[in-house]
Amino acid sequence: MATTAISAAITALGGTASAAAASVSLPAALKGTTLVSPAVVGYPPYAFLTKANKISGIDPDLSTAIGKPLGTKVHLQTASFENSLLGLQRGTYFMVTGSDITAAREKTLDMVSYLADHYEFMTLASKPALGTKVSALCGLTISTVAADSSIPVLNADSKTCTSAGKPAITVKTFADQGSSVLAVQSGQADATTATVTNLGYVSKQEPGKFRLGGPKYNYVYIGIATKKGNGVAKALAKAINVLIANGSYHKILAKYGVTDDAVSKALVNPNPTIHA
């Protein structure tokens, strides 16, 4: 996900919490405070702006729904992914959705799993299909989102290419996935990479224009990042599991056609290694 800041506008979306008693308790330090979560728009179907400039997507819907078992409202503020994580550390946000769960992130953050996904590549359908081996990427320019977990993977793949005497992979980063896709359309990049959930959604918006393929990699849990040790992750996992049990979670995923990414239970700091 992204790097440059997008205009900030705090918005309370639909599905606000009712006056009923909370079924999940927040840590004492957060009780009575305004809970703000960033919406990293430009990354459909996780988060994006509609033509009416309304924040929409899996993450905004889930963030809002989480407020119900917590007994409070969750306010949304548009931001880039990079600035979201910085805001989390500063205390601007109490959580950051849409974060790939990695071993490195679990060292400094508490992570809550809520989707399972993997990465692929997307090219123009008019271009030759990518092969499924890393060697198919050698010499190509790949666009991705700044601070995304795909970057170290691509850099490692590039070293594999050069060690074999083949051209390096050029990685170009952009503020959001929309810009990354535009790079492919304009010829600035040969392919873009992101989660198959994201790329599948993008490709369906313009049938026949794009092709998914290339090496599959980075099987990951998509999670919510929280400050290490402040107790928020435990409360969020409980809240998501309430939503799983009452069906709200699956309704959100069905709305965006990603029910295959569902998890049976939200976990705090799960083993980040998922096998195909």
Question: For the domain that residue 98 is a member of, what is the CATH number?
Answer: 3.40.190.10
On whether both 77 and 99 belong to a single domain, the answer is yes
Task: Answer yes or no: do 35 and 102 share one domain.
Answer: yes
Q: Is residue 18 part of a domain?
A: yes
**Radius of gyration of the chain measured on its C-alpha atoms:** 19
| Nearest-10 Cα torsion for 202, 205, 210, 215 | 30
Residues 104 and 129 in one domain: no
- Helix/strand/coil percent split, the chain, to 5: 35, 25, 40
Long-range contacts of 55-59, Cβ-Cβ distance < 8 Å, separation of 24 or more? 55/11, 55/13, 57/256, 58/115, 58/252, 58/253, 58/256, 58/258, 59/97, 59/98
Q: Which two tokens stand for residue 64?
A: 């809002």
Q: Is residue 246 part of a domain?
A: yes
> pTM for this structure?
0.72
In a domain, residue 3? The reply is: no
* Across 223-245, average pLDDT: 97
Side chain identity at 138, as an amino acid letter? Answer: C
- Give the pLDDT score at 276: 60
Residues 126 and 248 grouped into a single domain: no
Assess if residue 45 is contained within a domain. yes
142 domain residue, yes or no: yes
140 Cα distance to chain centroid? 25
Residues 169, 200 share a domain: yes
Same domain, 238 and 205: no
Contacts of 266 (CB under 8 A, 6+ apart): 112, 113, 114, 236, 237, 240, 241, 244
Average pLDDT in the chain: 89
- Please choose, from the candidates 200, 212, 203, 215, the residue with its C-alpha nearest in 3D space to the C-alpha of residue 261: 200
The verdict on 122 and 112 lying in the same domain is no
Same domain for 150 and 228, yes or no, is no
The answer to whether residues 175 and 78 belong to one domain is no
Lowest mean pLDDT among 2-6, 37-41, 163-167, 243-247: 2-6
Give how many domains the chain has, as a whole number: 2
Residue 274 lies in a domain: no
The answer as to whether 70 is a domain residue is yes
Is residue 62 pLDDT above 70, yes or no?
A: yes
Q: Domain for residue 276, yes or no? A: no
| Cα 132 to Cα 215: distance, rounded to the nearest angstrom | 4
Whether residue 116 has pLDDT greater than 60: yes
Could you list the residue range(s) of the whole structural domain that residue 209 is in? 118-219
Domain shared by 255 and 242, yes or no? yes
User: Distance between CA atoms of 98 and 263, rounded to whole angstroms?
Assistant: 14
Q: Is 134 within 8 Å of 161 (Cβ atoms)? A: yes
Share of the chain above pLDDT 70, in %: 92
pLDDT score recorded for residue 198:
87
**Do 27 and 90 fall into the same domain?**
yes
If one counts every other C-beta atom within 10 angstroms of the C-beta of residue 273, the result is 11
Query: Mean pLDDT throughout 212-241?
Result: 95
Give 134-189 pLDDT, tens digit per residue: 999 999 999 999 988 899 999 999 999 999 999 999 999 998 888 999 999 999 99
**64 and 201 inside one domain:** no
